[in-house]
Structure 1
Amino acid sequence: MYKKVILVHGFFKTNRDMMDLKKNLEKLGYQGIALNLPLTFHEIQYGAKCFENKMDKILNNLSKEEKVSLVGHSTGGLIIRTFLSNTKQINKIHRAILISTPNEGCQLAELADKKFPMMTSIFKTLKTLTPENVEKLNINHRKEVEIGVIAGNKSDLLLRKLIKGENDGRVELYSTQYANSIDSIVLPLNHNEIHHQFLVAQLIDEFLRTGKFSK
């Protein structure tokens, strides 16, 4: 069983936001590696390139039979999908999990870009999260790596009323779903709390071992 897991944080966060998940996975026997990426003032493409450079170093140091798994929260999931789309070392990736990832973009990002363009000109990662700009990322699915999706539908965060449809307080539920995932699960948790819960670490463990979530 592959025990090394790369953790990728979301927009306006650092790797410190993934420390609870890292500790929870370590309780389950994994080695968590929480990477720090520039996902605030730069477009996603820049963050994805930084991630690729860090991943190449990690993958180049693996033993011959070793693989790593990838887990991303929110924007971190888009970073992972971009990496999988482009990497030449796909054979060294075991499985991947997207947590509350805006796979089809985010209504709040679109609203911010329309109403407060000065904001998105500063917080360039946010601008990249509009549905139009996520589509422009042209991410291709690689069937070599099985992907699971964990999402929340507890809408109790500030700004939730600005989002149409079922959501986790930040991202619409339909956007978190990924057509090429092999399994998905929805939990009664909001966007900011979901990846800090031990239950989510247990679900990650389950998917990495079996390729599915128990419902």
Structure 2
Amino acid sequence: MDRHKIVLVHGYFRTSRDMKKMKGYLVDLGYDAICVGLPLTFSEIDNGLSKFSLLFEDIVKKLDKKEKISMVGHSTGGLVIRKFLLENSQYINYVDKCILISTPNNGSEIADIVNTYLKVFPRVFRTIKSLVSDKVAEIDSLSDKDIKIGGIAGNKSNLITSRLLSDISDGRVTVASVKHEDLDDFVILPYNHTEIHHRKETAEYIHNFIQNDRFK
């Protein structure tokens, strides 16, 4: 396998530590995996995006010849990746594949509820504002970009927050919200939102997609 970096982006209210187990699995599969830490709790996504752009620029500068980069985002991290690809066209040629895990590509029902009925929370935890359905809908399609994108959703609804959701979900994000027109392949795994990115099976699906453009 050619040298291949994978940049791992954590989700809302998390840090780079949340992607360390996935990093270990991917390293065992032969990848050079990098966990990045972004301000995705008290700031809107655009602030995290600015930091991510700087981190990615530094990664590109250190690339070996013919080395490829793929990106894996969990939850809100997947939205960061989508916005990054739209707003940083100068890096498109460096990106091979993108995998979005439990990403609310069509908006978060929970964020909608919190933003409507618990308005104090979005004022403090400002990332919530970037997850409401209307805001996420403003992110343009990547269909004109020459990048393969895969989506992974979970359907284990054993989290308390699953009671707030109207459809099959991983307890935080519905399967329907993960599905998106930009995805070249899509798979559903039997895990909840907090465990799906910590599973070896998920890493193996990521590996399959990077190598074959398909999850299976």
Superposition TM-score, scaled by structure 1 size: 0.96
Q: Distance in 2 between matches of 1:85 and 1:137?
A: 8
What is the aligned partner in structure 1 of residue 32 from structure 2? 31
The partner residue of 1:144 within 130, 143, 146 is: 146
Letter in 1 for 2:74: H
Report the Cα distance in structure 2 between the residues aligned to 1:31 and 1:49, rounded to whole angstroms: 23
Instruction: Count residues in correspondence.
Output: 214
Secondary structure of the residue aligned to 2:39 is: coil
Does structure 1 retain, via aligned residues, the 8 Å contact 2:209–2:215?
yes
Runs of 4+ in 1 over 6 A off after TM superposition: none
How far does residue 159 in structure 1 lie from its aligned partner after superposition?
Answer: 1.5
The amino acid that maps onto 2:120 is M
Match of 2:116 in 1: 114
Q: 2:99 aligns with which of 97, 100, 104?
A: 97
Structure 1 residues 86 and 141, CA, compared in 2 at 3 Å: closer, same or farther? farther
Kindly indicate whether residue 45 of structure 2 is the aligned counterpart of residue 44 of structure 1.
yes
Q: Which residue of 1 aligns with 2:59?
A: 58
Cα drift, residue 140 of structure 1: 4.3
Question: Which deviates further from its counterpart, 192-201 or 81-90?
Answer: 81-90
Distance in 1 of aligned mates of 2:140 and 2:125? 21
The equivalent of 1:68 in structure 2 is 69
1:2, 1:94 within 8 Å by CA — same for their partners in 2? no
Q: Answer whether contact 2:4 2:67 (CA < 8 A) is retained.
A: no
Gaps of 5+ in 1: none
Q: How far apart are the structure 2 equivalents of 1:177 and 1:80?
A: 16
The aligned counterpart of 2:202 is 200
- Indicate the SS of the match to 2:209: helix
Per the alignment, in what secondary structure is the counterpart of residue 160 of structure 2?
Answer: coil
Judge conservation of contact 1:85–1:142 (CA < 8 Å) in 2. no
Report the 3-state secondary structure (helix = DSSP H, G, I; strand = E; otherwise coil) of the residue aligned with 1:159: helix
Query: How far 1:66 sits from its partner (Å)?
Result: 1.7
User: After alignment, is 139-148 or 157-166 more displaced?
Assistant: 139-148
- C-alpha distance after superposition, 1:86-131 (max 9, x if no partner): 2211111111100000001100001001111110111010121000
CA distance, structure 1, for counterparts of residue 145 and residue 139 of structure 2: 18
Asked if 1 retains the 8 angstrom alpha-carbon contact of 2:157 and 2:192, the reply is: yes
% identical aligned pairs: 41
Cα pair distance change 1:183/1:139, threshold 3 Å = closer
1:172 lines up with 2:174 in the alignment: yes
Instruction: Report deviation, 1:139.
Output: 5.5
The question of 1:10 aligning with 2:3 is answered: no
Q: Please give the secondary structure, in 1, of the residue aligned with 2:197.
A: helix
TM-score by length of 2: 0.96
Instruction: Answer yes or no: is the 8 Å Cα contact 1:2–1:68 preserved in 2.
Output: no
Distance 1:161 1:185, change over 3 A: same
Structure 2 unaligned runs (5+)? none
Equivalences for residues 123-142 of structure 1 within 5 A: 123-138=125-140, 140-142=142-144
Distance 1:96 1:106 in 2: 20
